[in-house]
Amino acid sequence: MFSTGVAFRAFVVPRGQNAKTTWHTNMDTSAQLAVPKSHLVDGFRLVPTSKIVDANQLVYLRSILWDRAWVDFTIGALKNYLECPAWYIPAGVGIPGFSDTGGLTTAATIQQVSNGAPIFGNYLSIRTHPILLPSQQTFSFTYHVDVALSAITVTTYLWVVLEGVNGRETM
């Protein structure tokens, strides 16, 4: 899924395309909110999930979030509202802790990690200056990886969550 110098755009593939379901996304249209929806963004979360079956994959998952990855959030063609290292955006959800299997690296070994403390209020907040996403306004959240991560042999997902309040535009 990840490779050197690749950029992944979230919110591009809506439900119903490429076998995407509500588990994958809540977008109904590509890169914009459908009429009459709106969303007041007051923060961001990056929520990784992967079944780690050996220590090498744990190292590479760490690279996805910490070593050489960054994100940007753009509205329209040129309005860049966020650009920062991926590690700056915690998940704030998940199972706390870490499971150490004493060095075992078999397929039955599973390790759990969390991107930041799994406390619901732990996310990159912009609540003092929220951003309004009106319907039909294009936007993108791009995740850039600048390191080879070919050792990840299991499916890895990275959910991007735009915290905030959903609404409907008035007609």
Residue-wise pLDDT for 92-112, tens only, equals 887 665 555 555 555 555 555
Is 70 exceeded by the pLDDT of residue 134?
yes
In percent, how much of the chain has pLDDT > 70? Answer: 70
Is 50 exceeded by the pLDDT of residue 2?
no
Is 50 exceeded by the pLDDT of residue 49?
yes
pLDDT at 148: 60
**158 with 57: CB under 8 angstroms?**
no
pLDDT at 101: 56
Prediction pTM value: 0.79
pLDDT at 116: 75
